[in-house]
Amino acid sequence: MGSEVESVQDVIRVRQSGPLGGLVQVTGAKNSALKLMAATVMAPGRHTLRNVPRIADVAIMVELLEHMGAAVDWLSVDGVTANSLTIEVPDMLIPEAPYDLVEKMRASIVVLGPLLARFGEARVSVPGGDDFGHRPIDMHLKALEELGATFTTSHGVIQGRVEQLLGARILLEYPSVGATENLLMAAVTAKGTTVIDNAAREPEIADLAAFLNGMGAGVSGAGGSTITVEGVEHLHPVEYTVVPDRIEAATYLAAVGLAGGEITIEGARADHMEMLLDKLAAMGLQFDDGGDRLHVVAPERPGRLASVDVSTLPYPGVATDYKPLLVALLSVADGVGILTENVFAGRFRYIPELVRMGADIRVEGHHAVVRGVRVLSGAPVRAPDIRAGAALVVAGLAAEGETVVADAHHVARGYEDLVGNLARLGANVSIGT
Ligand code: UD1
């Protein structure tokens, strides 16, 4: 996108707002829906996924499934597109993820495990760098090799083959979300028992396991560090509801922290965000957990949030995806907070944008030292990725004047209607002019 003429659709305008009030509904989790969609290729027939977010990344996964030969449709209720997808998986598929789709969305590599499981072969373009720099997939490949797959790479394409996947005990050197998912899906129809040790424990992994079990798989222990998979021969199509998006829920928590007020987040699962809620409570937000809804109250103005130190870690630690939201909150909190990034090296590209808005932040290695200021100052900024884009939008709620967030298409990759939802809570925010 050229900087001179910004598309009106590709900017989000925000003015200082608050206090917020009312109710907001979160959609299903992007990071689960994409994997469940990929997993459908393992069973021919018609699958139905409910609570699927209508976001750009899901549209790319739809394209990928269609490229392989599946028929994908959004269901409508009274003529209005609902959040349900049907995926009709034929007996034969083209087992490949081409470059143009993998390049648009790195998460496309999660088709690797399911395709190997179903067809004994898979061709997936090597993912390049992305918004967070180079992200290797060595652990995915190594784990799949331990189940018997072999890989060759040429002309930018990874080609995987296997006669019959065989169950094994696999110790992941790091609890990678993507590697755990690829391995879990491949293990479902492997012969014998697979044990995954040091598995990622994110709620989206437990959601994937529940989905696979709905298809007839024998997965136990998902959500913990050791997952056991008893291989089965046949899987069948399934109807399933995607787990709510904890990162979207956290975005509204940050919004109310920045703009003040009290809101109810429908679909927010406090039990999936415990460490984050502990940190936010220490900062001064108050919560009332209703099981599948969360009521949150910000300190009465002119009261401020208090600064805290936070480190990102694999689940159940504070997720790296929350971090831009936390930095935005700390930028107007009382005191100094240190944020330490332990998951992705150098995931700090939004910080110069917050500094343009008057935030006082110093980056030292993988630490960000944030000295809270009383108020931010609206400015033109650029969204570098999904969550950082959302963080800049909610930071704009606490900034005098107008903040114009360019490259808003990044936000649309992960949020169905961030602007509409914030506006309904009383925020002064709009798309384009
Ligand atoms: C997923 C999420 C992402 C989230 C991340 C961590 C999706 C689509 N994305 O990404 O939003 O921020 O989990 O919670 O679900 N690594 C390797 N080799 C590998 C695999 C990973 O070195 O083979 C490294 C990565 O570079 C990174 C760390 O492990 O430093 C964590 O990555 P991983 O947990 O795999 O994240 P993703 O699945 O890519």
Q: What is the pLDDT of residues 40-82, one digit of tens each?
A: 999 999 999 999 999 999 999 999 999 999 999 999 888 888 8
Q: What is the pLDDT of residue 320?
A: 96
Our answer on whether the CB atom of 183 is closer than 6 Å to any ligand 1 atom is no
Note whether residue 249 is domain-resident: yes
For residues 159 and 307, state if they share a domain.
no
Instruction: Answer yes or no: do 38 and 18 share one domain.
Output: no
Percent of residues in the chain assigned helix, strand, coil, to nearest 5: 35, 30, 35
Residues 77 and 100 in one domain: yes
* Model pLDDT, residue 2: 39
Residue with the smallest CA separation from ligand 1 atom 19 is 137
The reported pLDDT for the residue numbered 3 is 43
Task: Give yes or no: residues 378 and 420 share one domain.
Answer: yes
* Neighbour-count burial for 4-31, b at 16+ CB within 10 Å, e otherwise: eebeeebbbbbbbbbbbeeebbbbbbbb
With tokens 């994110």, the residue in question is: 202
The residue among 214, 241, 268 that closes a domain is 241
Whether 370 is in a domain gets the answer: yes
Q: pTM for the full model?
A: 0.96
Domain range enclosing 62: 30-241
pLDDT by residue (tens digit) across 212-237?
Answer: 999 999 999 999 999 999 999 999 99
Ligand 1 and 343: CB distance under 6 A? yes
Nearest to 212, CA basis, from 187, 176, 245: 187
- What strands, in cross-sheet order, belong to the sheet with 12-15? 380-382, 402-406, 12-15, 428-431
State which amino acid sits at residue 359. Answer: A
CA of 247 to the centre of ligand 1 (A): 15
Q: Which residues of the chain have pLDDT under 70?
A: 1-8, 128-134, 346
Q: Please, are residues 41 and 121 in contact by the beta-carbon 8 Å criterion?
A: no
Angle (deg, nearest 10), helices 177-187 and 138-146: 20
Q: Are 390 and 251 in contact (CB under 8 A)?
A: yes
Counted domains in the chain: 2
Q: What's the 343 CA to ligand 1 centre distance in angstroms?
A: 8
Is residue 79 in a domain?
Answer: yes
Judge whether 311 lies within some domain.
yes
CATH number of the domain encompassing residue 313: 3.65.10.10
Question: Which of 37, 104, 135 most suits a substitution to test ligand 1, by most atoms within 8 Å of the C-beta?
Answer: 135
Based on the domain organization, do 204 and 352 belong to the same domain?
A: no
pLDDT > 70 fraction of the chain, expressed in percent and rounded: 96
Separation of CA 303 and ligand 1 centre (Å):
37
Question: Do 180 and 86 sit in the same domain of this protein?
Answer: yes
234 and 249, same domain (yes or no): no
Peptide bond into 237 cis (omega under 30): no
117 in the same domain as 36: yes
- Residue 248, domain member (yes or no): yes
Q: Are 254 and 276 in contact (CB under 8 A)?
A: no
Ligand 1 center–CA 24 separation, angstroms: 29
Please count the other Cβ atoms lying within 10 Å of the Cβ belonging to residue 334. 16
130 lines ligand 1 (CB under 6 A): no
**List 73, 100, 130, 278, catalytic entry:** 130
Measure the CA–CA gap between 321 and 305, rounded to whole angstroms: 21
| Structure confidence at residue 323 (pLDDT) | 96
Distance of CA 263 to the CA centre of its chain: 23
Tokens of 315: 């689940």
In angstroms, the CA 428 to CA 261 distance is 14
H helices within 74-124, ranges in order? 99-104, 112-119
Residues 36, 129: one domain? yes
144 plus 75 within the same structural domain? yes
Residues 215 and 71 in one domain: yes
Q: For residues 220 and 320, state if they share a domain.
A: no
